[in-house]
C-alpha cells in the first residue's frame, strides 16, 4: 500500500521517480530461498494453497547508480555540491515530507547523471518500518520528518531561497492529492482494509494542509 500510494501521489506532484510501475503476482512456490523473517508465513500460505501468489510492486528500471556509490567516490563536499545543483531537490524534499518517508538515504536515491537524481523505494512511510495504523496516522499528522536530502546538500543549514521555493509550491499538494485520489481509491479497494484506506486518505489531505506551517516552524520562515 505504501509503495503504490507514494508512486501515484509522487506522479501527481511530478516527483522524480521511475517512469512506470505495476503490480506483479509472484507464485510463492518460486521463492526458493526467502528471507528468514518471511519463511513462516510463506510456508503456511503454501500449505493451504500450493498455487498461492503474492502481489509485488515493481517499477521500470532506473538508470545510473546508487547515490551512496557517488558519495563514496567523490567525497562529502563534491557530492553535496552536485546535489545542491539538482533542480528537483526541493520537490523531492517536500514529497518525502508529505508522505513522511522515514527511510530516505543514499541507498534509495539513484544518480542518473551530473546534477540529476531519481527517488526509489517508498515502502517505509509514517512509521519507522512503514507499519502504521490509524492511531499513528493521527499522531504524526503534524510531525516534521528530518529532511535527509536537504541535510546532505547543505549540512550547515538550508539556504533561505531553497526553503522559500518549497513554501511557494506547497499549495499544489492538496490539488495533487485530489488528482491522485481516483486512482488511489481503485488500488486501495483491492489491497487495503477500508478503514485503513479512509484513514490514509484523511492523512494525506491533512498533511497537504499542514505542510506550510510545519516548514515555517522548522526553518523559521514566514508563510508566502
pLDDT, tens digit, 9 for 90 and up, residues 58-114:
999 999 999 999 999 999 999 999 999 999 999 999 999 999 999 999 999 999 999
Q: What are phi and psi of 170, to 5 degrees?
A: -70, -25
Residue 177: pLDDT band (50, 70, 90) is very high
Residue from 215, 184, 2, 5 nearest 93 by CA: 215
C-alpha cell at 51: 498455487
Residue from 177, 175, 152, 176 nearest 162 by CA: 152
Distances (CA, A) of 142 to 96, 126, 145, 168, 210: 14, 11, 10, 19, 6
In the chain, where are the structural domains located? 2-20+60-219, 22-58
d(CA 126, CA 150): 19
Above 60 in pLDDT, residue 180?
Answer: yes
Residue from 79, 210, 217 nearest 149 by CA: 79
Note the CATH architecture for domain 2-20+60-219: Orthogonal Bundle (1.10)
Report the chain's mean pLDDT, rounded to a whole number: 95
Distances (CA, A) of 52 to 18, 41, 76, 189: 29, 11, 47, 20
pLDDT tens-digit series, residues 13-51:
999 999 999 999 999 999 888 888 889 999 999 999 999
What pLDDT, on the 0 to 100 scale, is given for residue 222? 55
What pLDDT, on the 0 to 100 scale, is given for residue 224? 47
What pLDDT, on the 0 to 100 scale, is given for residue 35? 83
What pLDDT, on the 0 to 100 scale, is given for residue 92? 98
What pLDDT, on the 0 to 100 scale, is given for residue 137? 98
d(CA 140, CA 44): 34
Above 90 in pLDDT, residue 55?
Answer: no
pTM over the 0.95 mark: no
Amino acid at each position: 500500500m505504501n509503495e503504490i500510494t507514494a508512486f501515484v501521489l509522487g506522479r501527481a506532484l511530478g516527483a522524480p521517480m521511475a517512469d512506470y510501475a505495476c503490480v506483479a503476482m509472484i507464485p510463492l512456490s518460486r521463492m526458493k530461498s526467502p528471507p528468514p523473517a518471511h519463511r513462516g508465513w510463506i510456508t503456511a500460505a503454501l500449505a493451504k494453497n500450493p498455487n498461492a501468489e503474492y502481489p509485488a510492486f515493481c517499477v521500470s528500471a532506473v538508470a545510473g547508480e546508487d547515490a551512496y556509490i557517488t558519495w563514496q567516490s567523490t567525497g562529502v563536499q563534491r557530492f553535496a555540491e552536485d546535489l545542491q545543483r539538482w533542480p528537483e531537490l526541493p520537490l523531492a524534499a517536500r514529497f518525502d515530507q508529505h508522505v513522511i518517508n522515514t527511510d530516505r538515504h543514499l541507498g534509495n536515491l539513484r544518480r542518473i547523471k551530473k546534477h540529476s537524481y531519481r527517488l526509489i523505494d517508498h515502502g517505509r512511510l509514517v512509521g519507522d518500518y512503514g507499519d502504521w495504523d490509524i492511531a499513528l496516522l493521527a499522531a504524526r499528522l503534524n510531525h516534521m520528518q528530518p529532511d535527509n536530502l536537504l541535510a546532505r546538500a547543505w549540512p550547515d543549514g538550508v539556504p533561505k531561497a531553497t526553503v522559500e521555493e518549497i513554501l511557494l509550491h506547497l499549495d499544489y499538494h492538496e490539488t495533487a492529492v485530489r488528482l491522485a485520489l481516483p486512482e488511489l481509491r481503485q488500488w486501495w479497494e483491492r489491497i487495503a482494509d477500508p478503514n485503513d484506506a479512509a484513514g490514509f486518505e484523511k492523512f494525506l489531505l491533512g498533511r497537504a494542509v499542514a505542510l506550510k506551517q510545519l516548514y515555517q516552524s522548522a526553518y523559521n520562515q514566514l508563510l508566502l
